[in-house]
Structure 1
Amino acid sequence: MMYSRIVGTGSYLPEKILTNHDLERMVDTSDEWIRTRTGIAERRIAADNQMASDLALNASREAMEAAGVTAADIDLIIVATTTPDVIFPSTACILQDKLGAKGCPVFDVQAVCSGFIYALATADMFIRAGKCRTALVVGTEIYSRILDWTDRTTCVLFGDGAGAVILTRSDQPGVLSSHLHADGSHSKILAVPGSICGGKVQGTPFVTMEGNTVFKFAIKVLEEVVYEALAENNLQVSDIDWLIPHQANIRIIVSTARKLGISMEKVVVTLDRQGNTSAASIPLALDAAVRDGRIKSGQHVLLEGVGGGFTWGSVLIRW
């Protein structure tokens, strides 16, 4: 049987750090208010001349180096992003050109904060179907450009960054299963309800959110999608070695872990230093845990995310 395995991870964070104390001078908030409600202390902000593809390029090169592959080896690129460089071409096409990877299929996935889960699941299916051998999967975001910096309920939450993985074909299990869901009836709860018509923006080009509704929905579906993955693979909660959730809010992460009966010692958290980086948050956290040695061969790693749409999903991996 054919499987896909992650053989390299990489990440990139912009140089500029925006702390909670910096935000105190920009909007009516405080370090204590942000920390207690979100768990965030600082986030990264892309430079004016950086695009999502630039962040993705740095993360991709790091993942490729870790995997020992070159651009010539890559035969599929999937980029998860809510903040593409331009309307079109896709950010994946732009990244492909910057990497010098010629001819392979490339495309973007737009599932907001669940984007990396969707992209990873799609790449796994390509490999299992025998359609490619080596895939580059990237989550990259520049949320700082779609935030209203006078709205303290949203501008304190998000940051910029990119994470990437290299997937290759294997006869040994790696990605065990993926589980994807969506419910468009909740599309207005978390959105950027703007569009372009005649060269002008119509609607609101900034993130809008019903915080309490998002919180309740996220905890519910994140718990469900974990149990779905475990049932598919005849595993118990105790079999999970590492839970890597989307880094949205520490209260959501802690509440989900508590409902599942998972110790926070087995949960990877990067939220405090990076904020919510949407589609980039899961690969960024994964890379951090791989590089510091927490994740070891043979362990079960469960990735889970929920985002605007609403979309949600999980991917269970045997490392």
Structure 2
Amino acid sequence: MTRSVIAGSGSFLPPRIVTNDMLAAELAERGVETSNEWIVERTGIRQRHLAERGVTTSMLATEAARSALRDAGVAADEVDLIIVATSTPDYVFPSTACLVQSQLGIAGGAAFDVQAVCSGFVYALTTADALIAAGRARCALVIGAEVFSRILDWNDRGTCVLFGDGAGAVVLKASADEGPQAPGVLAANLHADGSQTRILCAAGNVAYGEVTGDPFLRMDGQAVFKLAVNVLAQSAREACATAGVALEDIRWAVPHQANVRIINALARKLALPAENVVVTVDQHANTSAASVPLAFDAARRDGRVQPGQLVLMQGVGGGFTWGSVLARL
């Protein structure tokens, strides 16, 4: 049976770093009060990367893709599938994935976007894994990329302090190795509850040449917190049961980087040691679909994540959507 193996990873962050103090000063000019202490206490965020105007999601995604290809030692023309997870595409269409394909100078393979907000990368990774297992692809680029600063209301301190911009990517390759310790994706699950749409949404659109609805991100933070912790814990247990492993076998948990309180509560619920949980929200803030691949790549590059280890990647976000991917590196 063919399985998909993570052959490499990469990331790209806009060079502009905005610390909490810098952001507080900018917001004060708008009459919005916040502080480094207020943000850190409630979220764990200390800084974020923000794209300059004119920098698009496809630009960030392409740089992350190039980084992942270099890491995997794979040439761009070997890629026969590109999936980009994003809620901030360059255009209504064509897809951001098609734009990335063009910027990489390749053509012919499938390219499409997945929209599941902060769960997007897990949705995209699961989709790519399924296509490789079915023999429909041999080498996939799976990318999470966002320019969330485009859809933030900078007069709403409850949301504008939470998010950042960036992109992360992995290269998935087909493998026939089926040994008990062989690398590859071991389990994945995806879920959604559309009845929870309003707790996290950006309910605007463009119609007849005009913006309709509310174009900004809106969130009920308490409702998101409660739902996120519970569904992620259930999803983690489901993935372990599918793979036939115990929770304590997981060497690294890479959850969506939304809020350090959510991350810590999830770790406690699953009895995962804090030192086994990858946390980058302090440096990146919430980068939505980019958060999981950014955190995964950071942990690989600093030497924490090693070959042979079990890694649990989890996303949760608007929709309401959630899911998990369990892989052996």
Distance 2:298 2:206 in 1: 37
Deviation track 1:50-79 (CA, whole Å, cap 9, x = no partner) reads 100000011000000011111110000000
Deviation at 1:87?
0.8
2:256 is the counterpart of 1:251: no
What is the SS of the residue equivalent to 2:258? coil
Unaligned runs of 5+ in 2: 178-182
What is the SS of the residue equivalent to 2:158? coil
Q: Which residue of 1 aligns with 2:24?
A: 24
One-letter identity of the residue aligned with 1:11: S
Distance 1:279 1:14 in 2: 16
One-letter identity of the residue aligned with 1:307: G
Deviation track 1:202-246 (CA, whole Å, cap 9, x = no partner) reads 111000001100000001101000000111112111100000000
Deviation at 1:9?
0.2
One-letter identity of the residue aligned with 1:194: G
One-letter identity of the residue aligned with 2:194: G
| 1:225-244 pair list within 5 angstroms | 225-244=235-254
One-letter identity of the residue aligned with 1:233: A
| 1:143-158 pair list within 5 angstroms | 143-158=148-163
Deviation at 1:49?
2.2
| 1:262-281 pair list within 5 angstroms | 262-281=272-291
One-letter identity of the residue aligned with 1:291: R
Deviation track 1:107-128 (CA, whole Å, cap 9, x = no partner) reads 0000000000000000000100
Deviation track 1:137-191 (CA, whole Å, cap 9, x = no partner) reads 0000000010000100000000000000000001234000110000100011100
Q: Which residue of 2 aligns with 1:10?
A: 10
Q: Which residue of 2 aligns with 1:208?
A: 218
Picking from 129, 149, 154, the partner of 1:124 is: 129
What is the SS of the residue equivalent to 1:188? helix
Q: Which residue of 2 aligns with 1:185?
A: 195
What is the SS of the residue equivalent to 2:39? helix
Deviation at 1:197?
1.3
Distance 2:321 2:54 in 1: 31
Distance 1:124 1:24 in 2: 42
Q: Which residue of 1 aligns with 2:180?
A: none
Picking from 75, 79, 84, the partner of 2:89 is: 84
Unaligned runs of 5+ in 1: none
2:74 is the counterpart of 1:69: yes
One-letter identity of the residue aligned with 1:184: G
Q: Which residue of 2 aligns with 1:55?
A: 60
One-letter identity of the residue aligned with 2:21: H
Q: Which residue of 2 aligns with 1:42?
A: 47
Query: TM (normalized to structure 1)?
Result: 0.99
Distance 1:184 1:69 in 2: 38
Distance 1:296 1:317 in 2: 12
2:106 is the counterpart of 1:101: yes
Q: Which residue of 2 aligns with 1:142?
A: 147
Distance 1:57 1:197 in 2: 29
Distance 2:215 2:11 in 1: 27
Identity of counterpart residues, as a percentage? 58
One-letter identity of the residue aligned with 1:19: T
Distance 1:96 1:140 in 2: 14
Over 6 Å off, 4+ runs: none
2:219 is the counterpart of 1:194: no
What is the SS of the residue equivalent to 1:140? strand
